[in-house]
Amino acid sequence: MTHHLSIGRLTAAFAGVLTSLCPALAEQPGTVGVPSCAVSPALSEIGVALDRSARRIDQGSPLTIVAMGSSSTLGVGASAPSMTYPSRLDRELRDRFPAVEIRVLNRGIGGQDVGEELNRLDRDVVAEHPDLVIWQVGTNAVLRRDDLTVDEQLIRQGVSLMKEVGIDVVLMDLQYARRVLTRPSWGEMERVIGEIARSDHVGLFRRFEIMKEWDHTQQLAPAPMIGPDGLHMTDASYGCLASELAEALAWNWWSHGKIAKSLHQSPDAVSRLSQPVTRPLSTALRTQ
C-alpha cells in the first residue's frame, strides 16, 4: 500500500499557505508508510538546503550517503546489522525514491571520540566520494569529560574539511539516555553542536529533542527506547530514528528543490521565501 510522507500529510490550511506563496510548492512528494513515532515537522527540520544531494535526487543520479559516528551508528543495541539506523535508512530512502540508486554506508566504530573520527575522515568518508554525510557526534565526549573546548574545535575542523570538497553535512546530536543525562556537560555539547550547525551552515538532526519527545509521550511503548545499559538504542528506536531522518531528508530535498525551480516561474513569490519559512509554516501547522 502506498502512503503519503508524514511530513507531507499537510493540513488543508498548510496547503493553502504553500499555494499562496507559490503554486509549484503545493505538490506533495510521494512516499512510504507513516511511522507511529512521527514528531512535528518543526522538530525534525534539518534547516539548511542540502544542495548536492537534492540535485542528485532531482536528476535521478546515484546518491551516496555516509553515516559517520560511534556506537549508535555502528548499531550497538540492535539485534542484527540489518536493524541499525544506517541499514534501515537505506531501505527507507529506497522506498521513497525507487527510481534513484541510493546507498547508505555505515562507518560507525564503537567507542570512538571526535578526534579518532576526524583522523579517519579521509579514509572512511572522503574516499567514498559521498554526496551527504550524517555525522553522529558528541556522546562519547560527554561521557568522558566536562571541558568540551577541544571537541568543538575538532568538530568544526571536520565540518570544514567535508564542506571544502563539496559534501553536504548533517550533524546528528546526542541520544536522550539516562547515562548521557547524568553527565554535567550534555547541555553544553548540545549547544556546541547546534551553534556549529548554525554558524557553518550545515544541517542539524535533533536526535536528542526527538528522542526526548518520544520518551515524554511514550510513543514507542511498550518497546524500550534505550537498552538495559542506559545508553544504547534498541531496534524500536533505531527504526524510528531511520524513519524520521528519511522523512526529514526527503522533505528537505523536495521543498528546497521546489523553491529553486520556482525561481524561473514566480520570482515575486520566491522572494518571499528568501528568509527561512519552515519555522512559521510549521508554527501554522501546530496552531491548527
Q: What is the DSSP code string of 145-187? A: -S--HHHHHHHHHHHHHHHHTT-EEEEE-----HHHHTSTTHH
Residue 255 pLDDT: 86
So what's the architecture of 40-275 in CATH? 3-Layer(aba) Sandwich (3.40)
Q: How many CB atoms lie within 10 A of CB 61?
A: 12
Residues listed for the chain: 288
* Residue 145 falls in which region: left (phi positive, over 0), alpha (psi -120 to 50) or beta: beta
What are the distances in angstroms from CA 235 to CA 53, 104, 190? 27, 18, 24
Q: Which residues contact 26 (CB under 8 A, 6 or more apart)?
A: 15, 18, 19
Residue 258 pLDDT: 62
Residue 77 pLDDT: 96
Q: Which residues contact 54 (CB under 8 A, 6 or more apart)?
A: 252, 253, 256, 257, 260
What are the distances in angstroms from CA 199 to CA 156, 185, 193, 204, 279? 10, 21, 10, 12, 18
Q: What is the mean pLDDT of each run of 10 residues along the chain (288 residues)?
A: 38 35 38 63 92 94 97 96 97 96 97 95 96 97 96 97 97 97 97 97 97 93 94 96 96 77 48 38 30
182's grid cell: 547524568
Q: Rounded CA gap, 72 and 70, in Å?
A: 6
Determine the distance from the C-alpha atom of residue 20 to the mean position of all C-alpha atoms in its chain, rounded to a whole number.
28
* Exposure of 272 in the CB half-sphere (CA atoms within 13 A): 12
Closest-CA residue to 136 (of 66, 44, 218, 211): 66
What are the distances in angstroms from CA 255 to CA 97, 152, 262? 15, 31, 11
Q: Rounded CA gap, 96 and 106, in Å?
A: 20
Phi, psi (deg, nearest 5) at residue 204 = -135, 125
SS3 274: coil
Closest-CA residue to 47 (of 151, 264, 187, 199): 199
Determine the longest span between alpha carbons in the chain, in angstroms. 55
Give the bridge partners for 203, in sequence order: 170
121's grid cell: 575522515
Q: What residue ranges do the domains of the chain occupy?
A: 40-275
Determine the distance from the C-alpha atom of residue 109 to the mean position of all C-alpha atoms in its chain, rounded to a whole number.
19
